[in-house]
Amino acid sequence: MEESLALMIVGGVLSLMGVLMNVNPIKFDEDLLGALEGKLSDRENMLRNFGAQLRTVIGALAITLGIIAIYNRNLATSDAENLLVSMGVGFILLMAVVIAGHYRGFVDRLIIPPLVIFSVLTTICFYAGLM
C-alpha cells in the first residue's frame, strides 16, 4: 500500500471518529457503553456530563491526529514511513490503555469497537510503513 493512501485512510477514520465524538458525546457514550437506566441523580448527571466533556476532548485529539495524517500525505517516502510506524506504535499504546481500563476495574467489560478500529489502523500503518 502506498504511504499517501495509508495516511489518507488513517486520517479520514480518525477525523470521522473525532467528529462523531463531538457531535453528541452523551449519545456516543451510550451507544458504546449502554445507557444509564432510570432517573439520574444530580451527581450522576454531573458525572455523565463530565464524561461527555472528556469525550469531546478525546474527539478533538482524534481530529488533530487525522488532520496531521491527511496534511502529511505527500511527505517523502522515508518520512511518511516513519510517521506511519510511529502512529502504529501509538495506536498499540492506545489499545493497551483501553484493555488496561478493564483489568483495572474502570469498566465491566472490554470495549470492542475501538479495539477493532485501532487494530485495523495499526495494521494499515505497519503494512504501509514497513513494506
For 32-67, give the DSSP string.
HH-PPPSPPPHHHHHHHHHHHHHHHHHHHHHHHHHH
pLDDT value at residue 131: 86
42 confidence band (pLDDT: 50, 70, 90): confident
Which band of pLDDT confidence, cut at 50, 70 and 90, is reported for residue 121?
A: very high
- Full domain range(s) for residue 81: 3-130
pLDDT, mean over the chain: 91
pLDDT, average across residues 3-9: 95
Mean pLDDT of 50-67: 93
Find, among 70, 69, 121, the residue nearest to 95 by Cα: 121
The predicted pLDDT at position 120 comes to: 97
